Amino acid sequence: MSDTSTHPPAAAGRGTTAWSTGFAMFAGAVLLVTGICQALAGISALFRDQVYVATPNYIYAFDLTGWGWFHLIFGAALALTGIGVLQGQTWARVVGIVLASLSIIANFLFTPHYPIWSLVIIALDVVVILALVREQRETV
């Protein structure tokens, strides 16, 4: 028997592409929001570092003011990259993967100062990387 379906074969791929594009939009929104939150965390570390726990004898210990500047600058970069991902820019997807990877490392190092926040951001970064890598593969 022959297939009398009226749907062309390309229609099956469109659903997957639309889903991955929606997932990339989610990644862009998460990058934007976490970037803003990271910048706000940096501002609080700069102006009121008593908010964070100063862990003695931590092997990866850094000054909280240094962490504040890092989070402020890094958060701004994440937010700008999130805007680029939302606009569909290819460079933003590549930069988003790199920045989310660096964010995982940075938040691992920041875990003793703000553990729950760091673990949540690490989990979101993993989802962002998954979404952006999937989007990269779908467009090739």
**Domain annotation covers residue 135:** yes
What's residue 68's pLDDT?
85
Quote the CA–CA distance of 125 and 27 in Å, as a whole number.
9
pLDDT tens sequence across 5-33: 444 444 444 444 555 578 889 999 999 99
Quote the CA–CA distance of 138 and 132 in Å, as a whole number.
10
**Domain annotation covers residue 18:** no
The structural domain count of the chain equals 1
**Domain annotation covers residue 134:** yes
pLDDT tens sequence across 75-100: 999 999 999 999 989 899 999 999 99
**Domain annotation covers residue 1:** no
**Domain annotation covers residue 11:** no
**Domain annotation covers residue 103:** yes
Residue 106 structural domain: 26-53+60-139
**Domain annotation covers residue 41:** yes
pLDDT higher than threshold 80 for residue 139: no
Quote the CA–CA distance of 34 and 53 in Å, as a whole number.
21
Return the SS3 of 9: coil
pLDDT tens sequence across 30-77: 999 999 999 998 898 888 766 666 666 766 666 778 888 988 999 999
**Domain annotation covers residue 17:** no
